[in-house]
Amino acid sequence: MNIRTTEGARPFSAETLTIDHAAETDRIVAGLREQLRAMKKRGLVLGLSGGIDSSVSVALAVRAVGAKNVFCLFMPENDSDPESLRFGRMVAETFGVEAIIEDIGPTLKAMGCYERRDAFIRELVADYGDGWASKIVIANALEGEGYNISSLVVQSPDGVQSKHRMPPSVYLGIVAATNMKQRTRKQVEYYHADRLNFAVLGTPNRLEYDQGFFVKNGDGAADVKPIAHLYKSQVYALAAYLGIPEEIRRRPPTTDTYSLEQTQEEFYFSLPYDRMDLCLYGLNNGIDIDAVAHAAGLTATQVERVWADIAAKRKATRYLHLGPQLVRPVEEIKG
């Protein structure tokens, strides 16, 4: 990655993460073309959520293979925010790509996704059912030592919210049912990729990829991941260069997974993405903790807690990055 500034030239700050947008775009485009040639694929399929990562990925894909060789999918379900579809259509129109709606709600209902999730929620909130909404939130890593504790937030039909600590069995059950959404979307993506002889493009940024913010064999599955080396703030900067509509660039990152509105830091990360980027970059590049604290507007103790949280998530999600494990290698097959 071509970082313009260096720690030796000026104090560590958000400017340290500045990249040469034209050079980075050319590098990613060239990489995508080379990867597709190696796979003997002629185009790219991706799910278009209307978020910043998938929007930037569409723009890069179009530069790599042309709009006619990029196929996008809108895959709403029963809990999706209608705004996501509006933003997705805006991106598809901006870059002239073909995009269709694949409503996965009926499939998820048939598989029992919603019923299974709600059954686990009812172990804590007996009345939970039609008209209710929910989300999972984590405790802020800055507020204390130890593990982040996840809680369930529910909202009754009359708008009253309550927060509940979850035993591990309830947490795991809700997450397992919810993960059906990402895995079903990926199944649909690969159906279209197979029929078109295209490759599936995954859209994680560096923060998500590093911290395991994806579902194994769900949104974590892809043939190419062109922005996984870019910090989230770099993705936003690249979005402006690539002409992503401003309304999308102003939209806060959300999970769009639970029926209650939920930000990414509320669900998974310790801080908003711009401050998380600074902490992650500082940890990755051996930046002095006081310099990171000053740049991120934190205390050194808070940075230590964020770094501990990063390390804990790396350890806990390492298996997500692993392929199927063999007892003995098959020497004739090279990965």
Q: What is the pLDDT of residues 209-230, one digit of tens each?
A: 999 999 999 999 999 999 999 9
pLDDT at 143: 63
Cβ contacts of 178 within 8 Å, gap of 6 or more: 113, 117, 257, 258
The pLDDT, as a whole number, for residue 2 is: 47
- What is the reported pLDDT for 307? 96
Distance CA 257, CA 241 (A): 29
Question: Using CA of residue 315, residue 319, residue 320, residue 321, what is the dihedral sign?
Answer: positive
* Average pLDDT of every residue of the chain: 93
> Is residue 149 very low, low, confident or very high in pLDDT (cuts 50, 70, 90)?
confident
Residues 162, 52: contact at Cβ < 8 Å? no
User: pLDDT by residue (tens digit) across 246-256?
Assistant: 999 998 887 78
What pLDDT, in 10s, does the model give residues 168-201? 999 999 999 999 999 999 999 999 999 999 999 9
Residue pair 292/303 in contact (Cβ under 8 Å)? The answer is: yes
Q: How far apart are CA 61 and CA 97, in angstroms?
A: 10
Whether the pLDDT of residue 3 is over 60: the answer is: no
pLDDT digits (tens, 9 = 90+) for 262-276: 776 666 777 889 999
Confidence of residue 242 (pLDDT cuts 50, 70, 90): very high
Cα–Cα distance list, 150 to 32, 171, 179, 220, 317 (Å): 38, 8, 16, 22, 16
What's residue 147's pLDDT? 55
What Å distances lie between residue 15 and 4, 7, 92, 233, 291, CA to CA? 9, 10, 31, 10, 13
Q: Taking residues 310-323, what's their average pLDDT?
A: 94
61 membership: H or E segment, kind and range: helix 52-65
Helix 232-242 with 52-65: angle, nearest 10 deg: 50
d(CA 254, CA 266): 9
The sign one gets for the Cα dihedral 228, 238, 36, 255 is positive
pLDDT digits (tens, 9 = 90+) for 156-166: 999 999 999 99
pTM value is: 0.92
Please report which helix (H) or strand (E) contains residue 200, including its range. strand 199-200
Alpha-carbon distance 273 to 266, whole Å?
11
What is the rounded CA–CA span in Å between residue 175 and residue 117? 8
If pLDDT is split at 50, 70 and 90, which confidence band does 6 have? Answer: very low
- The radius of gyration of the chain's CA atoms, rounded to the nearest angstrom, is 21
Give residue-wise pLDDT tens across range 97-146: 999 999 999 999 999 999 999 999 999 999 999 999 999 988 766 665 55
pLDDT at position 9: 59
Q: Which residues pair with 154 in a beta bridge?
A: 134, 162
Count of beta carbons in the 10 Å neighbourhood of residue 20: 14
